[in-house]
Amino acid sequence: MSWRVVVISKRAKLDLQMNYLVVRSDEITKIYIGEISTIMIENTAVSLTVALLSELTKRKIKVVFCDEKRNPSSELMPYYGSHDTSSKIRNQIAWDKGVCDIVWTKIVEQKIRMQSNVLKRLDNSQASLLDSYISEIEHRDVTNREGHAAKVYFNALFGMDFTRDSDIAINHALNYGYSIILSAFNREVVANGYITQIGIFHDNIFNPFNLSSDLMEPFRPIIDETVFAMSPSVFEYKHKVSLIQSLVDTVIINGKKQDVNNAIKIYCKSVFDAIENKNVQLIRFYEI
């Protein structure tokens, strides 16, 4: 089982030797490829061999590249993640809208439930208001309980003056963490043979990750709680490491303990099965 999250933050050369990732910097470090789930390359002075990139692609290891400001800017994704990708994409284009609407309703409900659970762990009384929103959700969330819950939730976490568009460390941390989670979902969408552009709810022609944006919603509170615990006044490297490490935190899904990476894998497969079989009871959400 892959579980290591590798962060390359200094100038280095990366290559492949006998199924090991070799990191050549001030010293040489070797990491068994089979143990790696994610590689975050933060330094633009890092060089990689094509042999390594090819092996990482074959093994579906998530590789995220950062820009000169050390913010995630791109990722390594294979053209085809499954032997029947062409068939899966045809199915995706023809997904039943009614089923997709029900799936989206379930996703919104679970997202608010996870937000409420975060507040409950913090003994915040606003959790009860979020619980009431869950009972009020209508088909496809036409009354936008998700939006109302988000305002209450973020104000409860970060204060009444907090807004998501403010240029502050908390938002920088949230955005960084969300980009990491989004990347994990992109990997699973492709690995299952689908494309990220066609979503079940998100339908923005400028968003190449509509489907991943749909699926990741219930996992956002994992990042929110991590950022709350850090309470950064300045967003620093140590905070980035904490957010990356959240991918290996332990959650419960389908009755078993899994790290977040594996929970994402199980959850994505269950959503795709639910849509293909027109049975939303197949969806498996995580718990903490």
pLDDT for the residue numbered 79: 85
Instruction: From 271, 109, 108, select the one nearest 188 (Cα to Cα).
Output: 271
- Rounded distance, CA 83 to CA 67, Å? 33
**Entry pTM:** 0.93
Question: Residue 276 burial by CB count (10 A; 0-12/13-18/19+): exposed, middle or buried?
Answer: middle
Q: What is the CATH number of domain 4-76?
A: 3.100.10.20
Instruction: From 160, 167, 188, select the one nearest 62 (Cα to Cα).
Output: 188
Q: What is the pLDDT of residues 14-58, one digit of tens each?
A: 999 999 999 999 999 999 999 998 999 999 999 999 999 999 999
C-alpha separations of 151 from 97, 131, 162 in Å: 28, 14, 9
- Rounded distance, CA 262 to CA 251, Å? 9
Question: For the chain, which ranges sit under pLDDT 70?
Answer: 1
Structural domain boundaries of the chain? Answer: 4-76, 85-287
Residue 14 pairs in a beta bridge with: 23, 48
Superfamily of domain 85-287: CRISPR-associated endonuclease Cas1, C-terminal domain (1.20.120.920)
Q: What is the pLDDT of residues 169-192, one digit of tens each?
A: 999 999 999 999 999 999 999 999
C-alpha separations of 157 from 82, 154, 226, 278 in Å: 40, 5, 11, 37
Question: Which residues contact residue 134 at a Cβ distance below 8 angstroms, ignoring those fewer than 6 apart?
Answer: 109, 112, 113, 116, 145
pLDDT for the residue numbered 80: 80
pLDDT for the residue numbered 1: 61
